[in-house]
Chain A
Amino acid sequence: MRTLLRVLLTIACLLLGRAGVADAGQVAPKPPANDDCLACHGDPAAARANGTLVAVAASTFEASKHGPMACVDCHADLVALTEFPHPDTLKKVNCASCHDDVGATYHDSIHARAREKSGLNVAPACADCHGRHDIRGKADPKSRVTHAQIPTMCGTCHEGIKRRYDASAHAVALKKGDSRAPVCADCHTAHAIQRADTERSRLNATAECGSCHASVVESFTRTFHGKVTQLGSGRAAACADCHGAHDILPASNPASTVSPRNLQTTCGTCHQGANARFVQYDPHPNPRDYTRSAALWWANRFYWALIPGCFGFFGLHSLLWFWRSRKDAHAHGDTTR
């Protein structure tokens, strides 16, 4: 039955092709339509000679983001196909032929380098995350890459990290349906993923945390840690160094790295011998918050009086002096005074 179909199709194509040539002289053969492809690939049992399935469900494809497109738009080496069945091995689909910006970003990522330079074939390419014929936009709830779905997606390879993430405050919020709770791609990006221990990643991460925790990051930039980080040094503590990355927990949780009972250990990672007094340091100070630190509040008040007072008084003093000197010099016709 299948063989018969193939033969008939081939004949039809040849006839059509010849008709085209007859009509328009040198016009290229008409590319195969999706229906032509589905004639074989629409059969759920369609398989290569070695037995691997090559079936495509027409309904799945049509419901996908690429539904309106032709098969040969992606499988571009079949555009000029005249003979069916085509060879078993086709060129790899190049998503970047349309998605060139994403392609370029991905090309620099740790995943692409693993595949292309190290030959690590388990590292994901486009289809491993986005799917193939069932690609849907990330806003589509049925997509494999919706915000809520991403931890599961990345967790298929990064199982250990996924387990730690699942216990974190962020995962808990995500499960409660908080659409702002960060998932893997929020910190690591989706396509430009780099090693997380580089200086650039560390510096970018602070901004990422700040996209939700704005006031906390602002207070961080008032500290020595924050200022040094802003200057581009990766040696001072940034968010993840104290709070952890995948397993962030609120300070109220005894397992948290910033729980009062763990502070000496956490601070001690950099500041060897940090004692109980040492950890009374406030890594997120706010000089305007009296309840947080009265001493800092008073210091802020004091300098807000002292600095404008000094500059105001002596600034005026200097201006008047200048004015009087010019006036006197003018009166004496002496330009040096």
Chain B
Amino acid sequence: MTNAVLDTPSTMGSEPPSPDLPSGAHIRRFDRPTRLLHVVIMTTFLGLSATGLPLLFSDAPWSRVLASLFGGFHGAGLVHRVFGATLLAAVAWHVSNIAWRAIGRGERGLFWGPTSMVPQPRDVVHLVQQIRWFFGAGPRPRFEHFAYWEKFDYWAVLWGTLLMGAAGLILWFPQAASHVLPGWMFNVALFVHGAEATLAIGFIFVIHFFNGHLRPGKFPMDLVIFTGSISGDELREERAGEFARLVETGVLAQLAVPPPSAARSRRGHLIGTVGLTLGLGLVGLILYAVLR
């Protein structure tokens, strides 16, 4: 799976996907800060889940056991706050980075266009086409740089982090919050923190895991977020719109990079395996608590 050549559908043979692209070449997709941001979000998200779930499911038989891994409730609370602050810092860095790219560097296409994260009419079209494809009523949509489910993931994480971060800070510093907020906001904050956590944990550890990693064609994981590059074949297959645009504008060759080294792929596999295992394990605990 890691080797794009092995993954090439038989109909294509070993022909390069584009005349400008050497066979087996990869295309750069995520730069280093983006990959680092994903690892930080992934680590803090797992840590926040593992330390928060004992409280959310405080009546489940495993809640005390899970909390005891972090030194009991007080230890879990401390780790939760450290991870929470780290995640907020990472998101703050990301938002300021976007602002700098937009204003400082005057980067175009950040807020609109084929490479933008902002939802656009083409995403609605793609969603409809994808559903038609599910039922065999049409070809796969020609996705651009970000597909609609990736945009949903991105905005959900950004919105969720800001909302949960705000609620978390209110609960962390209630006296300070009470200078501006009425006390019943603590009730709302705790409720929102728990409900949003249920949504986020379920969404990331089931839907994002499936869309990004576990679905046929990617199973058991997609390494692109860890290695930073995608094979030319995969790009042409999965993101026909982007591929065609890159060929047309002649940028494809500029983005070509050598396939990731074995060491880098191994590291990606390791991080991905740990993340997927822990995430699915936590989902198992939730299902046990809910269905028991």
A residues touching B (Cβ–Cβ < 8 Å)? 221, 223-224, 226-228, 230-233, 235, 271-275, 277-282, 285, 287, 293, 295-296, 299-300, 303, 306-307, 310-311, 314-315, 317-318, 320-327, 329, 332, 334, 336-337
Say what secondary structure dominates the interface of chain B.
helix
- A233 and B73 within 8 A (CB): yes
**How distant is the Cα of A275 from the Cα of B181 in the complex, in angstroms?**
11
Interface digits, B186-216 against A, CB 8 Å rule (1 contact, 0 not)? 1110111001101100110011001100011
- B74 and A336 within 8 A (CB): no
Please list 19 pairs of residues, one from A and one from B, whose beta carbons are closer than 8 Å in the complex, sorted by A's number: A226-B58, A230-B58, A231-B64, A231-B67, A271-B174, A274-B178, A277-B181, A278-B183, A281-B187, A293-B188, A295-B184, A295-B187, A296-B191, A303-B198, A307-B198, A307-B199, A318-B211, A323-B134, A327-B136
Given contacts A278-B174, A296-B187, A325-B216, contact A306 B199 (CB under 8 A): yes
Is the CB of B104 closer than 8 A to any CB of chain A? no
Pick from B73, B203, B216: contact of A232, CB under 8 Å: B73
**How distant is the Cα of A307 from the Cα of B286 in the complex, in angstroms?**
15
Interface digits, B151-190 against A, CB 8 Å rule (1 contact, 0 not)? 0100000000000000000010011001101111111101
Interface digits, B52-67 against A, CB 8 Å rule (1 contact, 0 not)? 0011101100011001
Query: Which residues of the partner chain A approach B211 to less than 8 Å between Cβ atoms?
Result: 314, 318, 321
Task: Report the minimal beta-carbon distance from A289 to chain B, rounded to whole angstroms.
Answer: 12
Pick from A232, A278, A315, A334: contact of B207, CB under 8 Å: A315
Task: Report the minimal beta-carbon distance from B12 to chain A, rounded to whole angstroms.
Answer: 12
Is the CB of B125 closer than 8 A to any CB of chain A? no
B residues touching A (Cβ–Cβ < 8 Å)? 1, 7, 9-10, 54-56, 58-59, 63-64, 67, 72-74, 131, 133-136, 149, 152, 171, 174-175, 178-179, 181-188, 190-192, 195-196, 198-199, 202-203, 206-207, 210-211, 215-217
- A293 and B187 within 8 A (CB): yes
Task: Report the minimal beta-carbon distance from B162 to chain A, rounded to whole angstroms.
Answer: 16
Task: Report the minimal beta-carbon distance from A224 to chain B, rounded to whole angstroms.
Answer: 6
- B191 and A320 within 8 A (CB): no
Q: Which residue of chain B has the shortest Cβ distance to A267 in the bound complex?
A: B183
Say what secondary structure dominates the interface of chain A.
helix
**How distant is the Cα of A337 from the Cα of B238 in the complex, in angstroms?**
12
Query: Which residues of the partner chain A approach B135 to less than 8 Å between Cβ atoms?
Result: 320, 324
Task: Report the minimal beta-carbon distance from B82 to chain A, rounded to whole angstroms.
Answer: 18
- B184 and A280 within 8 A (CB): yes
Task: Report the minimal beta-carbon distance from B74 to chain A, rounded to whole angstroms.
Answer: 7
Q: Which residue of chain B has the shortest Cβ distance to A323 in the bound complex?
A: B134
